[in-house]
């Protein structure tokens, strides 16, 4: 199964006010996923709290209510005409069924946990509505720790240990992690600063996800993982998604070359069984160069892996099977 472990087809459709299976004018949507042979996407919906991240194009006044509305929208859509093309996957079996029927399976998640408001009760509510993934931090520190991305008055910069407090995992954060494990919710460590990363791993017993990013050995940034961190993720049975999208600000250029360079390093450090692809595709038209400019171009990524000598088994794992294995182990 070809599966994008970090994309934004769901929140893009919701924000556009269009059917879930419509063409959305960005670089990922259900028609593009189908055209590229992508059978599933983990949709890391982005609803940052305007009071903490500052005003920008995606921040909202009430992350909780926005995410609830988005999950209700998704449920209505898959229950209507869009359901002929797309499924909201609550279990691994839903992924398999969608693949067999030629529909796209979307796994609902969130990038940054602002909408939880630190509450296990809120987590339970989201789970009942289909949420199966939580990216612990994104734009600012919270009970899970510091974020590698810091927004100041609508401008983003990387975490700086000399300027920013290295927030640590709190008792409430530990409680939420235990609840995620009990419910079967994927824990995504993308964007966590390193001290909090290690604290979360001390609590987690099962596989963890880092849905998108690269390698600090290639780009010295707090926004990427060290080789030691990569090995630690693999030791949990987890997966790291490589991306054509830089976690800037940096001098990296987006595109397939960036993804392939990170992928080759991760395979060397972790083994291909723990590597996936998380595009972070959203609405950035013209940002990604050919030959991997949108979800439709996924066959070009697969061809590039074959040209670099990866076996069919490794290509299948990297392009989806490794992510699906993690999903099956965590959400059931």
Grouping H, G, I as helix, E, B as strand and the rest as coil, residue 145 is strand
CB contact at 8 A, 265 and 239: no
Tell me the C-alpha distance between 260 and 243, whole Å: 9
| DSSP-assigned letters across all residues of 201-218 | HHH--S--EE-S--BTTT
Distance (Å) of CA 217 to CA 150, 236, 254, 260, 261: 22, 21, 18, 14, 11
Question: Pairing relation of β-strands 149-152 and 155-158?
Answer: antiparallel
Tell me the C-alpha distance between 294 and 231, whole Å: 30
Radius of gyration in angstroms for the set of CA atoms belonging to the chain, rounded to a whole number: 18
pLDDT tens for the chain, 332 residues long, are 999 999 999 999 999 999 999 999 999 999 999 999 999 999 999 998 888 877 777 889 999 999 999 999 999 999 999 999 999 999 999 999 999 999 999 999 999 999 999 899 999 999 999 999 999 999 888 999 999 988 776 677 888 888 888 789 999 999 999 999 999 999 999 999 999 999 999 999 899 999 999 999 999 888 899 999 999 999 999 999 999 999 877 789 999 999 999 999 999 999 999 999 999 999 999 999 999 999 999 999 999 999 999 999 999 999 999 999 999 999 99
Q: What is the pTM of this model?
A: 0.96
Tell me the C-alpha distance between 241 and 279, whole Å: 8
If one looks up domain 3-331 in CATH, what number appears? 3.20.20.140
Tell me the C-alpha distance between 153 and 51, whole Å: 10
Tokens 């090995």 belong to 231
Domain-wise residue ranges, the chain: 3-331
Residue 153: closest CA among 46, 52, 47: 52
323: tokens are 């992510």
């Amino acid at each position: 199964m070809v599966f994008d472990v970090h994309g934004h087809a769901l929140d893009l459709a919701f924000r556009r006010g269009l059917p879930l299976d419509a063409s959305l004018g960005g670089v990922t949507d259900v028609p593009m996923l189908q055209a590229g042979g992508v059978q599933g996407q983990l949709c890391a919906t982005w609803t940052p709290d305007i009071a903490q991240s500052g005003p920008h194009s995606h921040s909202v006044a009430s992350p909780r209510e926005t995410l609830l509305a988005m999950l209700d929208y998704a449920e209505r859509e898959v229950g209507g005409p869009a359901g002929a093309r797309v499924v909201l996957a609550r279990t691994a079996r839903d992924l398999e069924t969608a693949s067999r029927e030629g529909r796209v399976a979307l796994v609902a998640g969130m990038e940054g946990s602002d909408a939880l408001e630190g509450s296990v009760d809120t987590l339970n509510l989201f789970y009942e509505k289909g949420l199966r993934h939580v990216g612990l931090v994104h734009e600012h520190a919270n009970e899970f720790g510091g974020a590698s991305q810091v927004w100041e008055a609508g401008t983003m910069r990387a975490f700086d240990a000399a300027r920013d407090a290295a927030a640590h995992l709190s008792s409430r954060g530990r409680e939420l992690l235990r609840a995620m494990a009990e419910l079967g919710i994927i824990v995504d460590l993308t964007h966590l600063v390193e001290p909090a990363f290690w604290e979360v791993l001390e609590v987690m017993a099962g596989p963890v996800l880092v849905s998108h990013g690269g390698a600090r050995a290639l780009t010295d940034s707090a926004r990427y993982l060290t080789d030691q961190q990569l090995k630690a993720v693999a030791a949990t049975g987890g997966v790291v998604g490589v991306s054509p999208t830089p976690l800037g600000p940096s001098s990296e250029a987006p595109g397939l070359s960036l993804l392939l360079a990170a992928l080759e390093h991760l395979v060397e450090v972790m083994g291909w069984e723990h590597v996936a692809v998380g595009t972070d595709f959203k609405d950035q038209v013209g940002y990604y160069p050919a030959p991997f400019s949108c979800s439709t171009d996924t066959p070009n990524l697969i061809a590039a892996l074959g040209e670099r000598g990866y076996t069919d088994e490794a290509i299948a794992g990297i392009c989806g099977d490794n992510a699906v294995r993690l999903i099956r182990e965590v959400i059931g």
